[in-house]
């Protein structure tokens, strides 16, 4: 793709973009404010910019007069960049350009880290758990009366140096006819031992050469959504991915209500059956999207939180929600997938990720494994944020972990106009320091419906850094703008006027919302602090941060530090792995190394119950400020705020 | 029991008996001939004997006159010994008493060898495959949040030094409630690894202390009969034994007709289902006979010939009867018993004995293991005689084996009045050298129905040694007795006149019968010879013989050598183990040592296909004589026959 240079005036801010980028989004990510209320939907007509040189596509609407167009004005939200550009932003009031520049913090999201199959191979980590071997056997004769199974095993030994082979009964049943159906030319599917020196199981036999048809399924069993991937075991490639709502949602939104339902008569069986149906639906969809047939799938790996895992395995989770909150087990044995009701061939074994405790489950262990943290020298903070935030700190030698109940703020809960990340969700925000007019980007560039988690972080961060709210999250009552108002005794900021929304109501952010948000981020930050303290470390000892969960991809890292959600650390040392649970499952499909190491890693993971750690409450209370009562934890922010107040005064 | 001394006159033969022994049987076993046609049923009235001193109970019937009774005559077959006795046999013709004595060979059956549990323990061979462990666990608390499974495992480690424990999913599902149902006092059932260093599986958990309730089932799957034993794993004792006809009999009498049926559509499934039903019937009976309940059974071990094993496991046996006659496998993996349809708890694993070849199956391997041959320094000949005779020769270092088709003569087939060992079967025989009148004992002391295998051996041996038949099995045409007659051009000896039988026909033994019998014994003897030759040994290199099979217990060893069925060897070096297959299964239930060693032993067992060994036919033809063309193989018999002919001449 061609790269262009875009210069914004009067800020004199230059950024590099690629052909086809949206101009408003480019400005947002460059930290250049353009008034824009409708999230990029082309409705409000406020994001007028003057194209001084270069070419954009689109941006011409009835919101602009013929004269505007003739002069070179375009709507930024509707403009696609097609060359180098010089763009002038009409600054409605006189503002010192230097201020603009100083406040401009370019949006910085975490580097995305992905499984690299070639790297796995290079590192010697590629020990396929399931492999196919093609053999051309001599038929038996008077001088060679090897039994069929012995024949197969002997030639696997001779040709492929395979040892300690055992054959399962269903395969023994198939062998005589399969051997004779294709002139003793067959493909054997081998399931490798996790531990060297253990047995290799011959789990299937097929006529002819099918070695290029070997696939695996990886599944993340989320409380809300279940995701699956279909993986080609020869190339390591993900051939298809599909997500479905967890069918258990009808029986309770969250983990606790599911446990309550499971305790009812028949409840456990129902929840088990429903999640199996969800997974079967996903498997069917994955297969349909590709040319793979069910019988070619050789393995399935799954991970979920402790309750999801127990429900999947039909283990009653009742003691998870009863003091002293013990899960039934950490490790789960491999199990024949078909016996669980999964619509896979009889030879497929389901591997289920082990858990650490009732609230740090297999999904977290899977992420830790998938991200390779357990091999790292660096002290890493692994953070998976949802309703519960799970925190893991450690390196190859040790791990400490904890779950903290962040509440649903990051998923839109407890925020009046909060919503999950979906089309129409406000995901980015900037504000004109003088007019206090907003610049808003929505997911999908459509008129706004609400505020999603990443948008909320930016929103609070910007309002705080611009001094519009104070460190307790309270609005500056002296500011003169109709966007800040009191409603039912609560101050709020109007992000979008009703006319420009999809919901015909003003979309606002109130002090109550901000308060809930601060509690959520405070829970997480203090969780990290407490956990660090328990292992004798401090925030500055963290070498890197890994973010996981659907939440992390769009989070502006600097903003997340500004509000005190993430510890202040060089943004280059933060990576995002997306669905860590799914990533670990995929990795485990590709290499037995993980299957072997995971037992040891799980053992190394020391669980801390934050609610019973005395210092947690102190840390929590101290974290109920923006960014924190102890500003020495955020030295860079402290400097920026000093600069701002110098400018103001 | 009190022991008495019985002296028979005019033979002057003294034997020791116990209180309650039958007088006719005592005479028979002492080699003292008493005319007796009706097998001990009291019908023919021929076994009159004079009690000269001492007391018998019974023996008084209408066949004896008042005068006879007054003199002290009794029917031997109806007399129970109650004191020391002096008994005179009325010898109807003048016979030199010294001849009688010389011909009298006391019946000598093989010593019975049994599993000795204490000996197993002493030898360090007792490594129980399934054990129960009782634990009193501390309940979880705020300071002790071990997951349930981890808690169980940790305390098994701490209290019993158990290691490498894994828990199966169905047990995981039970653990939380079982722990809490009895104050965390539980019994865990552990299945030990066959190989040291492998994993121990926790296969069950029960509330309270149930360590004294741990049982196993051993099953021999015979083509005709299936036998089961219920074993107490704490004491090693057999609590109950039960046999049932194999339900598959309705679908074919022998192995080949079963294979033919299995090849029909649905045939394999039917035969599988039917034998499972037979085994379930046995299990139900075993449990009913004792106070054991099904859930207390922890393991099941089974053995059968190769076809029976494959049908039991639902593996199509079609290639067993097709050249080049390869079985599907030698080893079979342990399998969850319930998945086969066996009515046992889910945690029970079925162990199935490995086979060597299509016609040397798991029943033979089981016998070799059970009899401990694989630990012996001595070269042992192991012989399991049925329709097929399986022969194993070897010691701890090597084994050679072969199956030879003996035909059904030993089970009554191909013999006009042949029958299986059952009530009314003639099982013992003696003949008056002058009158040629017989002395007959039947199983159950009832009027005769036919001749069973052990009876047949004695019959032919006695007729041969008395010179009534020659070494080709032909009757001496010059003998004057109505018992030897020609019918339809074939000579025969009338054992029992119709009136004294249960079947209202004369029971005879013809030259055709004898010919079939000689072929059968010739096949076995030449099989042994060929096998010995293939491994570079000779008959005199055999250190001991082990007989197995329902057939061996009543066989008169000296008679079996006389006819050339068994090689001539000191009778003390022959032992009988009964159902060797069942014995091996029982042993495997008691110690993992066998489960481990059996794989190696099976590998050591070299199979020979006799029909394709060129020398077999020569050996066979040479063996179609009584005892053999090469009399140097039977030096003791040679001496006896010399003595006889000297006496005659």
A172 chain-B contacts, CB cut-off 8 A:
313, 315, 328-329, 332-333
| Residue A267, min C-alpha distance to chain B (Å) | 15
Candidate from A142, A173, A328 with C-beta closest to B149: A328
Confidence of residue A38 (pLDDT cuts 50, 70, 90): confident
- What one-character DSSP code corresponds to residue A325? -
Chain A, 540-559: which have a CB under 8 Å from a chain B CB? none
Q: Of all helices (H) and strands (E), which one includes residue B232?
A: strand B225-232
- Strand duo B111-112 + B574-576: pairing: parallel
- Summarize the confidence of residues B351-356 as an average pLDDT: 96
Residue A538: closest CA among A574, A577, A576, A569: A569
- What one-character DSSP code corresponds to residue B36? B
List the structure tokens of A535: 């292992």
Pairwise CA distance, residues B70 & B90, whole Å? 16
List the structure tokens of B371: 């009899």
List the structure tokens of B438: 């017989």
- What pLDDT does B421 receive? 82
Average pLDDT, chain B: 90
- Please spell the DSSP secondary structure of B365-416, one letter per residue: HHHHHHTTGGG-SS-EEEEEESSEEEEEEEETTEEEEEEEE--GGGGTTTST
Please say if the pLDDT value at position B387 is more than 80: no
**Helix, strand, or coil (residue A447):** coil
Candidate from B145, B314, B328 with C-beta closest to A326: B145
Q: Centre a 10 Å sphere on the Cβ of residue B171 and count the other Cβ atoms it contains.
A: 23
Cβ separation B142–A175 shorter than 8 A = no
Q: Is some CB atom of chain B closer than 8 A to the CB atom of A315?
A: yes
List the structure tokens of B518: 């000689």
Nearest 5°: phi and psi at A369?
-70, -50
| Helices and strands in chain B, H and E counts | 17, 30
Q: Of all helices (H) and strands (E), which one includes residue A530?
A: helix A511-534
Listed as own residue / partner, the contacts of A9-14 with beta carbons closer than 8 Å and 24 or more positions apart are: A9/A52, A9/A86, A9/A87, A9/A88, A9/A89, A10/A88, A10/A89, A10/A91, A10/A97, A10/A100, A11/A89, A11/A97, A11/A100, A11/A101, A11/A104, A12/A97, A12/A101, A13/A101, A13/A104
User: Which residue do the tokens 């969780």 mark?
Assistant: A527
Cβ separation B319–A175 shorter than 8 A = no
User: How many degrees, rounded to 5, is the angle at CA B5 between CA B1 and CA B6?
Assistant: 120
Identify from B328, B350, B402, B609 which residue to disrupt to test chain A contact, counting A C-beta atoms within 10 A and taking the largest count.
B328
Candidate from B198, B328, B333 with C-beta closest to A168: B333
- What pLDDT does B106 receive? 58
Candidate from B141, B324, B357 with C-beta closest to A141: B324
Chain A, 138-197: which have a CB under 8 Å from a chain B CB? 140-142, 144-151, 166-169, 172-173, 175-177
Average pLDDT, chain A: 91
Confidence of residue A92 (pLDDT cuts 50, 70, 90): low
- Summarize the confidence of residues B253-269 as an average pLDDT: 95
Nearest 5°: phi and psi at B375?
-105, -5
Confidence of residue B98 (pLDDT cuts 50, 70, 90): very low
- What one-character DSSP code corresponds to residue B348? P
B315 chain-A contacts, CB cut-off 8 A:
169, 172-173, 176
**CA separation, residue B403 to residues A91, A506, B218, B383 (Å):** 102, 93, 24, 10
- What pLDDT does B117 receive? 74
**Helix, strand, or coil (residue B224):** coil
- What pLDDT does A190 receive? 97
Identify from B199, B201, B329, B333 which residue to disrupt to test chain A contact, counting A C-beta atoms within 10 A and taking the largest count.
B329
Cβ separation A172–B323 shorter than 8 A = no
Cβ separation A141–B325 shorter than 8 A = no
Pairwise CA distance, residues A421 & A431, whole Å? 21
Number of Cβ pairs < 8 A linking chain A and chain B: 120
List the structure tokens of A575: 């990576």
Nearest 5°: phi and psi at B125?
-90, -5
User: Which residue do the tokens 């041969």 mark?
Assistant: B464
**Least-confidence region, from B338-342, B410-414, B482-486, B626-630:** B410-414
Please say if the pLDDT value at position B86 is more than 90: yes
Please say if the pLDDT value at position A104 is more than 60: no
Cβ separation B332–A169 shorter than 8 A = yes
A269 chain-B contacts, CB cut-off 8 A:
none
pTM of this prediction exceeds 0.80: yes
Per residue in A464-474, is it b (16+ CB within 10 Å) or e — as a string?
Answer: bbbebbebebe
Candidate from B176, B326, B330 with C-beta closest to A328: B176
Q: Centre a 10 Å sphere on the Cβ of residue B504 and count the other Cβ atoms it contains.
A: 7
The rounded Cα B295 to chain-centroid distance in angstroms is: 30
> In the sheet where B349-352 sits, what is the strand order?
B238-245, B225-232, B215-221, B297-304, B349-352, B335-336
Q: Is some CB atom of chain A closer than 8 A to the CB atom of B538?
A: no
**Least-confidence region, from A432-441, A490-499, B362-371, B546-555:** B546-555
Pairwise CA distance, residues B68 & B49, whole Å? 10
**A129-166 confidence digits (pLDDT tens):** 999 999 999 999 988 999 999 999 999 999 999 999 99
Cβ separation A333–B169 shorter than 8 A = yes
Confidence of residue B92 (pLDDT cuts 50, 70, 90): low
Q: What is the set of domains in chain B, with CATH numbers?
A: 1-104 (3.10.20.30), 118-207 (3.10.20.880), 216-371 (3.30.420.480), 377-407+523-648 (3.30.420)
What are the residues facing A111 on neighbouring strands?
A: A575
**B8-17 confidence digits (pLDDT tens):** 988 888 999 9
- Please spell the DSSP secondary structure of B424-456, one letter per residue: TEEEEEEE-TTT--EEEEETTSS---EE-HHHH
Confidence of residue B281 (pLDDT cuts 50, 70, 90): very high
**Least-confidence region, from B62-71, B180-189, B232-241, B333-342:** B62-71
**A597-632 confidence digits (pLDDT tens):** 999 999 999 999 998 889 999 999 999 999 999 999
Confidence of residue B115 (pLDDT cuts 50, 70, 90): low
User: Which residue do the tokens 């809490």 mark?
Assistant: B180
Assembly ipTM: 0.84
Cβ separation B329–A150 shorter than 8 A = yes
- Summarize the confidence of residues B332-355 as an average pLDDT: 96
Please say if the pLDDT value at position B513 is more than 60: yes
Cβ separation B176–A145 shorter than 8 A = no
Q: Is some CB atom of chain B closer than 8 A to the CB atom of A338?
A: no
- Radius of gyration from C-alpha coordinates of chain A: 28
- Radius of gyration from C-alpha coordinates of chain B: 28
Cβ separation A328–B150 shorter than 8 A = no
- What pLDDT does A648 receive? 59
């Amino acid at each position: 793709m061609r790269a262009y240079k875009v210069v914004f005036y009067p800020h004199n801010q230059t950024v590099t973009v690629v052909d086809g980028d949206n101009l408003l989004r480019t400005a947002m990510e460059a930290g250049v404010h353009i008034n824009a209320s409708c999230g990029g939907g082309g409705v409000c007509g406020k994001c007028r910019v003057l194209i001084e040189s270069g070419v954009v596509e689109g941006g011409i609407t009835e919101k602009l007069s013929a004269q505007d167009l003739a002069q070179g004005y375009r709507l930024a939200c509707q403009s696609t960049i097609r060359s180098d550009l010089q763009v002038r932003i009409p600054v409605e009031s006189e503002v010192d350009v230097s201020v603009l520049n100083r406040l401009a913090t370019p949006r910085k999201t975490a580097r995305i880290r992905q499984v690299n199959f070639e790297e796995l191979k290079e590192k010697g980590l590629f020990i396929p758990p399931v492999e196919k071997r093609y053999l051309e056997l001599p038929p038996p004769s008077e001088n060679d009366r090897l039994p069929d199974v012995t024949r197969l095993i002997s030639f696997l030994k001779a040709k492929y140096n395979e040892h300690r082979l055992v054959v399962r009964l269903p395969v023994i049943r198939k062998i005589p006819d399969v051997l004779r159906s294709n002139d003793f030319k067959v493909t054997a599917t081998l399931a490798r031992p996790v531990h060297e020196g253990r047995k290799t199981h011959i789990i299937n036999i097929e006529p002819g050469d099918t070695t290029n048809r070997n696939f695996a399924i990886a599944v993340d069993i989320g409380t809300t959504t279940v995701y699956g991937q279909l993986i080609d075991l020869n190339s390591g490639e993900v051939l298809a991915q599909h997500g479905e709502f967890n069918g258990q949602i009808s029986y309770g939104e969250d983990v606790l209500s599911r446990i309550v339902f499971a305790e009812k008569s028949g409840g456990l069986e129902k929840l088990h059956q429903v999640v199996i149906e969800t997974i079967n639906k996903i498997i069917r969809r994955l297969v349909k999207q590709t040319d793979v047939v069910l019988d070619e799938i050789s393995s399935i790996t799954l991970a979920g939180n402790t309750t999801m895992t127990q429900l999947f395995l039909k283990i009653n989770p009742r003691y998870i929600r009863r003091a002293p909150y013990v899960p039934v087990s950490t490790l789960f044995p491999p199990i024949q997938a078909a016996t669980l009701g999964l619509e896979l061939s009889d030879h497929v074994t389901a591997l289920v990720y082990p858990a650490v405790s009732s609230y740090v489950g297999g999904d977290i262990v899977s992420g830790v494994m998938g991200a390779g943290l357990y091999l790292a020298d660096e002290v890493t903070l692994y953070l998976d944020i949802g309703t519960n935030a799970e925190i893991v700190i450690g390196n190859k030698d040790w791990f400490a972990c904890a779950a903290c109940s962040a509440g649903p703020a990051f998923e839109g809960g407890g925020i009046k106009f909060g919503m999950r990340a979906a089309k129409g969700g406000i995901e980015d925000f900037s504000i004109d320091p003088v007019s206090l007019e907003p610049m808003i980007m929505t997911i999908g560039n459509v008129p706004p419906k609400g505020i999603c988690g990443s948008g909320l972080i930016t929103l609070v961060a910007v309002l705080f850094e611009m001094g519009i709210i104070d460190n307790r999250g309270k609005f500056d009552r002296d500011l003169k703008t109709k966007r800040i108002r009191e409603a039912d005794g609560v101050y709020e900021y109007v992000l979008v006027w009703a006319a420009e929304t999809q919901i015909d109501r003003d979309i606002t952010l109130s002090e109550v919302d901000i308060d809930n948000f601060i509690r959520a981020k405070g829970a997480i930050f203090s969780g990290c602090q407490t956990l660090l303290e328990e292992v004798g470390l401090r925030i500055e000892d963290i070498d890197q941060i890994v973010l996981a969960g659907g939440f992390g991809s769009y989070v502006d890292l600097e903003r997340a530090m500004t509000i005190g959600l993430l510890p202040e650390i060089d943004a280059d040392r933060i990576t995002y792995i997306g669905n860590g649970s799914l990533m670990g499952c995929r990795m485990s499909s590709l290499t037995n190394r993980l299957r072997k190491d995971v037992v040891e890693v799980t053992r190394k993971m020391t669980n801390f119950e934050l609610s019973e750690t005395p210092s947690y409450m102190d840390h929590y209370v101290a974290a109920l400020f923006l960014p924190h009562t102890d500003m020495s934890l955020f030295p860079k922010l402290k400097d920026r705020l000093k600069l701002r107040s110098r400018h103001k005064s």
